[in-house]
Structure 1
Amino acid sequence: MPELPEVETVRRGLAPFLEGAVIESVTLNRPDLRFAFPEGFAARLSGQRIEHLGRRAKYLLATLSDGGTWLSHLGMTGGFLVSGQRLDEPSRLLSSSPAGKHVHFEARLLHPEHGPVRLAYTDPRRFGFMALFPLGAANPYIDPLGPEPLGNALDALTLAMALQGKRGPIKTVLLDQRVIAGLGNIYVCEALFGSGIDPRRPAGSLAAEEVGRLVVAIRDVLDAAIAAGGSTLRDFANSEGQPGYFQHSFAVYGHEGDPCPRPGCGGQIARIVQAGRSSFFCPVCQR
């Protein structure tokens, strides 16, 4: 499942070709992905101008000219294709012409700078989905989310208040999207290592200074992952079909049995399972 850096990388790749473009037509090649397409989806998108392409947590959000929001989630294997255009940002995007049974959504756009643009969504496993929300409508995917980890809404005080009284392990609490939006398993492991915090620690036991280190580590690891074009574990690829590269910088994730990379530590990376997910950490320097 793509995490925040992968989705942000996709957003940056798509934005130059979508923002300002008018959706001339939409074709749905099947009635559903993970969920059914919204009723009248193609007709409701047609004729709209895409004012802005944003991201909230792991969702892509296109703001439309009528004030509505077109939401997309990539699932495990979803990707957008822009045919005939070179994409400046590495992302889960391909610049070839879309074809085949896994192309489930196609749109013809007219962009004021790039001219005609063909946008397609391909998803072999169909774990992704799309939704459409009118201006002011409740959004069950976005409304419950906590603060963005890279935004001004997250600071040490905000996180400390969110962790107060929580007895669950800090690792699993950080995966709760109501606490911080967009964090996934890989980057939580890396941020906990960066801040020197054991993933088994009760979340409410962290001191103020530790919470401050954790906020800095979260920002640092996400910024580094975005700069590297995301991480490839299975099928994430950039516009040239190449993988993201942050997985080569993992300090602990996937390194069970390796020496701890922290200078002078001398520990060995361990793996445990928490809430059904692997946690990688150094039991010597993560306290």
Structure 2
Amino acid sequence: MPEMPEVETVRRTMIPLIKGKTIEKVILWYPKIVATDHEKFLSELPGKKIIDIDRYAKYLLIRLSDNLTIVSHLRMEGKYHLTTSDAPKDKHDHVEFIFTDGTALRYNDVRKFGRMQLILTGTERQTTGIGKLGYEPNSSEFTSEYLINGLKRKKKNIKNTLLDQSVVAGLGNIYVDEVLWRTKIHPLSQANKIPAEKVIELHDQINQIITEAIKLQGTTVHSFLNANGQVGGFQSKLQVYGHVGEPCPVCGTKFEKIKVNGRGTTFCPHCQVIYK
């Protein structure tokens, strides 16, 4: 699943491709991608101009004229790419935005898990899943004090806590494994038992890893591509994710892999301390 760095990379690469363009027509080849009224989606978008593209956590916010926003979640394998309206349709293309200049933005999704919603701009927290999210890394709200207080309320393990998005928004399996390894915290540690000084370290490493990953345009492990069809670069920097059975760069102990709430989790059994 694209995580915050990947979605930010998609945002940055989409802006020069579509900002300022006017939608002429919308085609829904697979209507279920749109979670709001399909007829309204088809009828209200023609004539609207792409004003900008924002992002919150893993959500893209495509800002349109007339105070409308398309909220897009890529889920597992969603991708956007710019083409022409007469280009052959790929079997996994599900939504097409045709622009007045003859170009077209297509949404491609092998698993069809991604979703779009058409909402009034400014109502994201009231009408979409964004309202259930915590603060995102590197924001002014995401302070070490905020994270300490947030974890105090969580009696479940730290891996699940960081994945559930209610405390920290935007992290997924890849970056949680990397962050926990860097801070030497075992993924099965009970979140509210982790010492405050360790939580401060965790906070700083979350910010650092997200910054590094965005700089390298995200991580491509399976299928992630940006809006220009290019892979990310952070996969070459991964120290623990995808390295099960290999020696830990710090202590030499072989990385182990377990399932945590159904998610594959790689860690160092020697370096990473469990807090209970």
* TM-score normalized by the length of structure 2: 0.89
What is aligned with 1:63?
63
Percent identical residues: 42
In 1, Cα distance between equivalents of 2:37 and 2:204: 39
CA contact (8 A) 1:30 1:104 kept: yes
In 2, Cα distance between equivalents of 1:66 and 1:198: 49
Q: Give the counterpart of 1:196 among 181, 184, 190.
A: 184
SS at match of 2:33: coil
Q: Flag structure 2 segments of 5+ consecutive residues without an equivalent.
A: none
CA deviations over 1:135-192 (Å, ceiling 9, x no partner): 4542231111110113111110001111114221111111111111111011001011
- Say if 1:78 and 1:266 are closer, same or farther in 2 by CA, change over 3 A: closer
SS at match of 2:32: coil
In 1, Cα distance between equivalents of 2:203 and 2:87: 42
In 2, Cα distance between equivalents of 1:259 and 1:100: 42
What is aligned with 2:139?
151
What is aligned with 1:214?
202
What are the residue-to-residue correspondences of 1:1-287 with 2, within 5 Å?
A: 1-33=1-33, 35=35, 38-83=38-83, 97=87, 99-110=89-100, 117-135=103-121, 137=123, 138-238=126-226, 241-262=229-250, 265-287=251-273
CA deviations over 1:60-113 (Å, ceiling 9, x no partner): 1112222222111223232111127xxxxxxxxxxx946233222222235xxx
SS at match of 2:269: coil
In 1, Cα distance between equivalents of 2:37 and 2:229: 28
Q: Which amino acid aligns with 1:246?
A: F
In 2, Cα distance between equivalents of 1:271 and 1:27: 43
- Say if 1:134 and 1:191 are closer, same or farther in 2 by CA, change over 3 A: same
SS at match of 2:97: strand
- Say if 1:165 and 1:134 are closer, same or farther in 2 by CA, change over 3 A: closer
SS at match of 1:261: coil
Report the more deviating stretch, 117-126 or 199-208: 117-126
Question: Structure 1 residue 54: deviation in Å?
Answer: 0.9
Q: Which amino acid aligns with 2:224?
A: F
Higher-helix-fraction structure: 2
SS at match of 2:271: coil
CA RMSD across the alignment: 2.2
In 2, Cα distance between equivalents of 1:271 and 1:252: 10
What is the number of residues matched between the two proteins?
A: 270
In 1, Cα distance between equivalents of 2:109 and 2:36: 14
Q: Runs of at least 4 residues of structure 1 off by over 6 A?
A: none
Q: Which amino acid aligns with 1:219?
A: N
CA deviations over 1:189-212 (Å, ceiling 9, x no partner): 101111121112110112221111
- Say if 1:98 and 1:232 are closer, same or farther in 2 by CA, change over 3 A: farther
Question: Structure 1 residue 218: deviation in Å?
Answer: 0.8
Q: Flag structure 1 segments of 5+ consecutive residues without an equivalent.
A: 85-95
CA contact (8 A) 1:164 1:203 kept: yes
In 1, Cα distance between equivalents of 2:81 and 2:88: 7
In 2, Cα distance between equivalents of 1:248 and 1:20: 35
* TM-score normalized by the length of structure 1: 0.86
CA contact (8 A) 2:247 2:254 kept: yes
